[in-house]
């Protein structure tokens, strides 16, 4: 198992996580994915990368360093994103009943091991 797959495996074990992808932030393209049925990895990658890019610019405009974690919350769940090294972003799609605190901790810890 590669380091990237190990990261995805760890994140997707968190209760309520429907899928996780590693995204090349500049392009919004999938690098690796581990998804349940019904989760569109291509869309998660492209849309989250675009949103995170905008939030990075917002944080910079506010004089802050780039975000370490982002949560987009919707009616039916959330998208979580943890920017990592080499312009990669770890993205997880989670249901409304997911253990968000655990998912967040796992993602922040795991993203540093992406290479």
Partner 1 sequence: MRALEPWVVQPLETFLAESAARLTLLMTMSGQVVAQHGFSRSLDVMSAAALGAGIVASTEELARLMGASRFEALVHHGQRQSCMLAAFTTPRGRWIGLVVFGPETSVGIIRLFFDQMVQQLAAVAPREQTQPPMLAENFETELNASLKALFGR
Partner 2 sequence: MTDDIRALTTRLADEPGSLAFLELAEALRRRGQLEAAYKVARGGLARYPGLADAHDLMARVLSDQGDLAGAFDAWTSALQLDPMRTSALKGVAFLYFRAGDKAAALDHLQRAHEVDPDDPAIPQTIARLSAQLRAGAPASAPVESAAAPSAPAIAPDSSERPSPGLFHDMDGGEQGLLLVDANGLRLGGRLGGADGNDVGDRVAAQLAGLSREAARATRLLGLGSWHSIAVESPDGHLVLTQPTADTVLLAARDPSLPMGRVGLLAERAARAARTWLETQG
Cα separations in angstroms, 28 against 31, 47, 114: 9, 7, 16
Identify which of residues 5 and 71 has a Cβ nearer to partner 2 in the complex: 71
Q: Answer yes or no whether residue 102 interacts with partner 2 by CB under 8 A.
A: no
Q: Answer yes or no whether residue 37 interacts with partner 2 by CB under 8 A.
A: no
Pick one of 42, 58, 64, 71: the residue that binds partner 1 (CB under 8 A): 42
- Residue 2 CB, shortest distance to partner 1, in Å, is 22
State the Cα–Cα distance between residues 92 and 41, nearest whole angstrom.
10
Q: Answer yes or no whether residue 102 interacts with partner 1 by CB under 8 A.
A: no
Among candidate residues 115, 93, 113, 111, the one with its CA nearest the CA of residue 14:
93
State the Cα–Cα distance between residues 114 and 100, nearest whole angstrom.
21
Instruction: Give the single-character DSSP code of 39.
Output: -
State in Å, rounded, how far the first CA of the chain is from the last one. Answer: 13
Binding flags for partner 2, 62-81, as an x/- string (CB under 8 A): xxxxxxxxxxxxxxxxxx--
Binding site for partner 2 (CB under 8 A): 38-40, 43-44, 47-48, 50-51, 54-55, 57-59, 61-79, 93
**Contacts to partner 1 by CB under 8 A:** 23, 26-29, 42-43, 45-47, 49-50, 53
């Amino acid at each position: 198992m590669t380091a990237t797959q190990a990261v995805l495996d760890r994140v997707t074990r968190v209760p309520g996580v429907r899928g996780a992808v590693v995204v090349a932030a500049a392009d919004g393209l999938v690098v690796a994915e581990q998804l349940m049925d019904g989760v569109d990895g291509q869309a998660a990658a492209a849309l989250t990368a675009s949103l995170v890019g905008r939030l990075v610019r917002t944080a910079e405009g506010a004089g802050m360093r780039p975000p370490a974690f982002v949560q987009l919350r919707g009616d039916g769940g959330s998208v979580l994103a943890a920017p990592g090294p080499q312009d990669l972003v770890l993205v997880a799609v989670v249901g409304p009943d997911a253990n968000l605190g655990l998912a967040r901790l796992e993602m922040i810890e795991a993203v540093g091991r992406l290479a």
